[in-house]
Structure 1
Amino acid sequence: MEWYGALGLLLGTIMVLMAIGMPVALAFLAANIVGAWVFMGGERGIMQLLNNGLGSLTTFALVPIPLFLLMGEIFFHTGLGARMFNAIDRLLGRLPGRLSYVTVLGGTGFSTLSGSSMGSTALLGALMVPEMTARGYKKYMSIGPILGTGGLAIIIPPSALAVLLATLAQIDVGALLIAGVVPGLILAAFYIVTIWLQTRLDPDAAPPYDVEPEPMSRKLLLLLRDVVPMVGVMVVIVAMMVWGVVTPSEAAAFGALGVLILAALFRCLTWAAMKNAVRGALKVTLMAYLIVFGSATFSQLLAFSGASRGLIGWATGFDLAPTVMLLVMFGVLLILGMFMEQISMMLLTVPIFFPLAVQLGFDPVWFGLIMLLALEISFTTPPFGLLLFVMKGVAPPDTTMREIYTAAMPFILCSLALVGLLILMPGIALWLPGR
């Protein structure tokens, strides 16, 4: 069978199964079984494929995923996240648009650990939009920062999604996590400048309101008690990875332990909170492991059937500049994001895009960061970005889709500006991991 026939059979099976409502991980598993039967010699091929897939689940690189997820779930269910939100709110005082800043700063901390952009958007929308609406904020000031937060959260470590992408692409997990630090800080600066410009151009967009002034001693107490410990856990584990003191797996363990200790110190570590945290982390971990299993076996089938080699040869045969090919792959991700969830997109594109990126001479860590940003931008790209419809579900009833599109655009432009910077100056991402 020609390479395009093999590729069509594998991808076509996946698309059909997903279209009839089968979960993504199971659709990939079923397609892999069909492919193994056709290309690897029937029952013997299926057994070999299953053995190879189980082997992919025993890698040490997967350990950070459940630990980072548990860290985020404890952070949320014990109320530590709410403490940090409230403290940041009170520290900013009468700053114009302060609730928008709170959304970006506090939401990034939560979204980074939760590993789910859709869940974070729904939570922040339900939590922050009613408050900002009651304070007279215009819709683009309340909705936009929530939609933009995901792009920031996905690249600032610790990010469970970055760990999953690195594992699927078989690249250095620690390097990808560390590579996101400087670009993440740049994107945060872009977001803050965007909110500041919006409040300057339209002061009525975020009208000031009276808040009880906090004395400097009280502000210092709030900072040291409710912000520094939470942020400190993230800073310490990133610093330990940068200095090479610990591996990403060990850093994730220290992070989960640190949040547990904080919850105990704040006397909010209850049995109910731990039960909910473990249950939430377990659900996402099982899904992630099924995805790794499906992706590993799918990659092997693409290679065994000749589809990977044929597709790379076909794509590079157009004699296009590497940057043009990068933009083509970026565009494909933006289109897929209108219809698919991030993890599904990774399953479908990582086995194809990363070998092609290496063939084109791109650093795999740098390309992984570009891909993470593309995955997040695609979620808020009009007209069908999935987060836009999640926001529609939690926004005030009179909110139109046009208002949501308008709110998202400045933050999409910020992320696109960061992508442009990374293309022009790859050292922004590669300097810290020393590549």
Structure 2
Amino acid sequence: MTWIAASLFLVGGLLFLMFLGLPVAVAFLVINIAGVIVFMGGLVGIDQLVANATDSITTFALVPVPLFTLMGEILFHSGLAARVFDALDMCFGRIRGRLSYLTVAGGTIFATLSGSSMANTAMLGSTLMPDMIKRGYKPHIIMGPIIATGAVAMIIPPSSLAVLLGSLARIDVGALLIAGLVPGLILMAMYVITIRITLARDPDAAPSYAVERAPLGAILKALALNVLPMGLVIFCVIGLILMGWATPTESAAFGVLSVLILTIVYRKLSLSVMTKAMMGTLKVSGMMLMIIIGSTTFSQVLAFSGASSGLISYATGFGLGFYAMLAAMLVVLIILGMFMDQLSIMMLTLPIFMPLVSVYQFDPIWFGVIMLLALEMSLATPPFGLLLFVMAGVAPKGTTLGQIARAVLPYLLCTLVLIVLLVAVPGIATWLPSVMRN
């Protein structure tokens, strides 16, 4: 079978099964069994498939994924995250659009504590949206910042997807996690500027209202009691990696420990909180590991069939330059993001992209950050961006996906601008990892 036929059989078959509505993990399993029977000798190949599937998830590098997820779940269910927002809310005074700015500030802090875009968006939507609606904010100034800030958890450490990307693409996980910090903060600054421009053009988007100004002493007390202790979690997750004192796995464990300590100090630890946190972690981690089993085996079948080498030879045969090839990869990621979830996109493209990264001599960490940004964009691209549906679930009845997509469009443009900046100045992503190595 030619590489073209093998590619159509494997990739086309996988996309067709997803189009039929099969769960991603099941679609990978079905096409893997079919591929093994066709390309690897039937039942003998099935034995190899089972062995490879076991090896794909019994790796130490994947341990941070459930730990980071557990950390965010405990913060959310214990109410510690809400205390952070209440303290920050006191700092914004009577600034027009204060709740939109609060979304960006609080969402960024929660992103450094949770590592989950879905959890970040759901938390921001459920806690801030009702008050914004009550204050007369227009839908676009409510939904845009919430979705955009929620998605940034994918790039700011601790990002579970960054751990998976680093593990599967053979990129230094610690370096990739740290590399997303500066681009993530720049993106937050861009969101603040976007909100400011939006309010300058349409002041009625966020009507002013009387707010009781909190005394300076009360503000400082709230920050000291509710925000400053979160620095312990951030230090455990980011600081330990940056200083070279801990691996990503160890820092994730310290992160969970620090969150447990805080819940005990604030007297928020209970059987109910831990049960909900463990159940949420089990669901998310189980889903991820099932997809990893299927997708890792899929990449091996793809390589064994000759489809991978054929696709790579075909792609490099056009003689595209450095920037043209990077642009082509980004277009593929964004288009796939309109129809697939981020984990599936990553698993489908990595077997093809990483050899091209080597051929074109891209810096793997730099490329990993750009890929995460492209995947972040795909979270909010219609018709099937996951965060669009999360927002639709917490938005008032009658809100359409079209309204949500239009609200987030200016913030997607911010991400595109950041990608261009990273191409022009790669040091934005590579500076902190180089400091960490030294």
Q: TM-score range by the shorter chain?
A: over 0.9
Distance 1:235 1:96, change over 3 A: farther
- Work out the CA distance in 2 between the residues paired with 1:13 and 1:273: 42
CA RMSD of aligned residues (A): 1.9
1:303 and 2:307 correspond: no
Q: Is the 8 A contact 1:339 1:386 kept in 2?
A: no
- Work out the CA distance in 2 between the residues paired with 1:151 and 1:417: 16
| Equivalent residue letter for 1:251 | S
| Equivalent residue letter for 1:283 | K
Q: Shift of the alpha carbon at 1:392?
A: 3.4
Deviations 1:176-209 (A, max 9, x none): 1011011111111111122222233333222222
Percent of paired sites with the same residue: 57
Q: Shift of the alpha carbon at 1:116?
A: 4.5
| Equivalent residue letter for 1:107 | G
Deviations 1:142-173 (A, max 9, x none): 11101211342211101111111212222111
Q: Is the 8 A contact 2:330 2:371 kept in 1?
A: yes
More displaced 10-residue stretch of structure 1: 228-237 or 216-225: 228-237
- Work out the CA distance in 2 between the residues paired with 1:209 and 1:39: 67
Q: Shift of the alpha carbon at 1:383?
A: 5.5
- Work out the CA distance in 1 between the residues paired with 2:104 and 2:300: 40
- Work out the CA distance in 2 between the residues paired with 1:399 and 1:66: 33
SS of equivalent residue, structure 1 residue 47? helix
1:184 and 2:211 correspond: no
Q: Is the 8 A contact 2:236 2:254 kept in 1?
A: no
Instruction: State the partner residue of 2:131.
Output: 131
Q: Shift of the alpha carbon at 1:355?
A: 1.8
Distance 1:402 1:27, change over 3 A: closer
How does 1:51-90 map onto structure 2 within 5 Å?
51-90=51-90
1:377 and 2:368 correspond: no
- Work out the CA distance in 2 between the residues paired with 1:342 and 1:111: 17
Instruction: State the partner residue of 1:250.
Output: 250
Deviations 1:270-293 (A, max 9, x none): 110001111111111111211222
How does 1:357-372 map onto structure 2 within 5 Å?
357-372=357-372
Deviations 1:221-276 (A, max 9, x none): 11111111124412442111111110000000000000000000000001100011
How does 1:18-417 map onto structure 2 within 5 Å?
18-111=18-111, 114-382=114-382, 385-417=385-417
Q: Shift of the alpha carbon at 1:24?
A: 0.5
SS of equivalent residue, structure 1 residue 431? helix
TM-score, length of structure 1 as denominator length: 0.95
Q: Is the 8 A contact 1:109 1:153 kept in 2?
A: no
Q: Is the 8 A contact 1:69 1:281 kept in 2?
A: yes
Q: Is the 8 A contact 2:337 2:385 kept in 1?
A: yes
Instruction: State the partner residue of 1:426.
Output: 426
SS of equivalent residue, structure 1 residue 367? helix
| Equivalent residue letter for 1:200 | A
- Work out the CA distance in 1 between the residues paired with 2:201 and 2:4: 53
More displaced 10-residue stretch of structure 1: 401-410 or 28-37: 401-410
Q: Is the 8 A contact 1:337 1:386 kept in 2?
A: no
More displaced 10-residue stretch of structure 1: 1-10 or 253-262: 1-10
Deviations 1:372-406 (A, max 9, x none): 11111122235654433443343233545554333
Distance 1:207 1:417, change over 3 A: same
- Work out the CA distance in 2 between the residues paired with 1:234 and 1:294: 33
Distance 1:382 1:107, change over 3 A: same
| Equivalent residue letter for 2:225 | R
| Equivalent residue letter for 2:360 | L
More displaced 10-residue stretch of structure 1: 198-207 or 312-321: 198-207
More displaced 10-residue stretch of structure 1: 416-425 or 387-396: 387-396
Q: Is the 8 A contact 1:97 1:206 kept in 2?
A: yes
| Equivalent residue letter for 2:427 | G
More displaced 10-residue stretch of structure 1: 54-63 or 249-258: 54-63
- Work out the CA distance in 1 between the residues paired with 2:118 and 2:278: 20
Q: Shift of the alpha carbon at 1:73?
A: 0.5
| Equivalent residue letter for 2:369 | L
More displaced 10-residue stretch of structure 1: 125-134 or 77-86: 125-134
Which runs of no fewer than 5 residues in structure 1 stay unpaired?
A: none
- Work out the CA distance in 1 between the residues paired with 2:235 and 2:267: 23
| Equivalent residue letter for 1:47 | D
Q: Shift of the alpha carbon at 1:57?
A: 1.6
Distance 1:156 1:24, change over 3 A: same
Deviations 1:305-362 (A, max 9, x none): 1111111000000011121111111111111111111112112212222222222211
Deviations 1:52-99 (A, max 9, x none): 221122211111011101100101111111111111112222122111
- Work out the CA distance in 1 between the residues paired with 2:364 and 2:219: 44
Q: Shift of the alpha carbon at 1:20?
A: 2.9
| Equivalent residue letter for 1:223 | L
- Work out the CA distance in 1 between the residues paired with 2:317 and 2:241: 40
Q: Is the 8 A contact 2:84 2:227 kept in 1?
A: yes
Q: Is the 8 A contact 1:96 1:208 kept in 2?
A: yes
Q: Is the 8 A contact 2:121 2:146 kept in 1?
A: yes
- Work out the CA distance in 2 between the residues paired with 1:393 and 1:76: 18
Which runs of no fewer than 5 residues in structure 2 stay unpaired?
A: none
Distance 1:313 1:40, change over 3 A: same
SS of equivalent residue, structure 1 residue 223? helix
More displaced 10-residue stretch of structure 1: 250-259 or 120-129: 120-129
- Work out the CA distance in 2 between the residues paired with 1:246 and 1:200: 46
